[in-house]
Amino acid sequence: MARTQGSHSDITGPRVQRAALELFARHGYAAVSMRQIAAEVGVQAGALYNYTADKQSLLFDLMRGHMDELLAARAGQPQSGSPLQRLEAFTRFHIRFHLERPDAVFVSYMELRNLAPGNFEVIEGLRRAYEDQLEDILRDGVRTGVFELADSKIATLAVIAMLTGVTTWYRSAGRLSAAQVEQIYWDMVRKAVSAG
């Protein structure tokens, strides 16, 4: 990974982010040193500070970028239809989006503890905004009688936990395609929330 001296600002920046993401996902934020990230990129540790103020900003920017992307992608999806249709759209979107970014999902979920308090507040707010979208769908369905749930808030958290869990075992080279996985989870979600 040695690199001869020179200027590479346009390509080094993204490479730093990518190396940090991969290493944080594999070993955890606290277990990864700036030297390891630099080695992965092919620069010396000091050079990283041209792209990030410090290690904490590296983590926060990754998580912030992931959440922004999640909310932007979701905003680009169709939001109309019956509660059942909206729930199906949400479920399929969630699985697809998360399966495409296993590292970012893993880091955003596992490294919340390692965010500085102010940074944590920001990420937590974005996460709640996303969850509220599902909760709204479930509440609408309960109101119209198509869903039957004792507690919409808990159902929201339960569904999201179930769906996000897919990233812990799914491998694209495995026996199931992403489309099949999407269908299997949608079947379970639909049944879990539906009225008898």
**Which residues of this protein are in contact with a copy of itself, per CB under 8 A?**
26-31, 110, 113-114, 149-151, 154-155, 157-162, 164-166, 168-169, 176, 181, 183-185, 187-189, 191-194, 196
Residues 51-70 vs DNA: string with x where CB under 7 A?
x-xxxx--------------
Q: In Å, what is the CA distance from 80 to each residue of 83, 87, 142?
A: 9, 10, 17
| Least spacing, CB of residue 194 vs a copy of itself, in Å | 7
Contact call for residues 131 and 106 (beta carbons, < 8 A): no
Residue 62 or 163: which CB sits closer to DNA?
Answer: 62
| Least spacing, CB of residue 107 vs DNA, in Å | 15
Residue 50 or 177: which CB sits closer to DNA?
Answer: 50
Contact call for residues 163 and 91 (beta carbons, < 8 A): yes
* Burial label, 72 (beta-carbon count in 10 A; 0-12, 13-18, 19+): exposed
Residue 118 is a binding residue for DNA (CB under 7 A): no
**What's the residue count for the chain?**
196
- HSE, CB side, 13 Å, CA atoms: give it for residue 102: 13
Residue 72 contacts which entry, a copy of itself, DNA, none (Cβ below 5-8 A, type-dependent): none
Single-letter amino acid code for the residue at 165? G
The residues of the shown chain that bind DNA, judged by CB under 7 A, are 3, 5-9, 12, 32-36, 38, 42-47, 49-51, 53-56
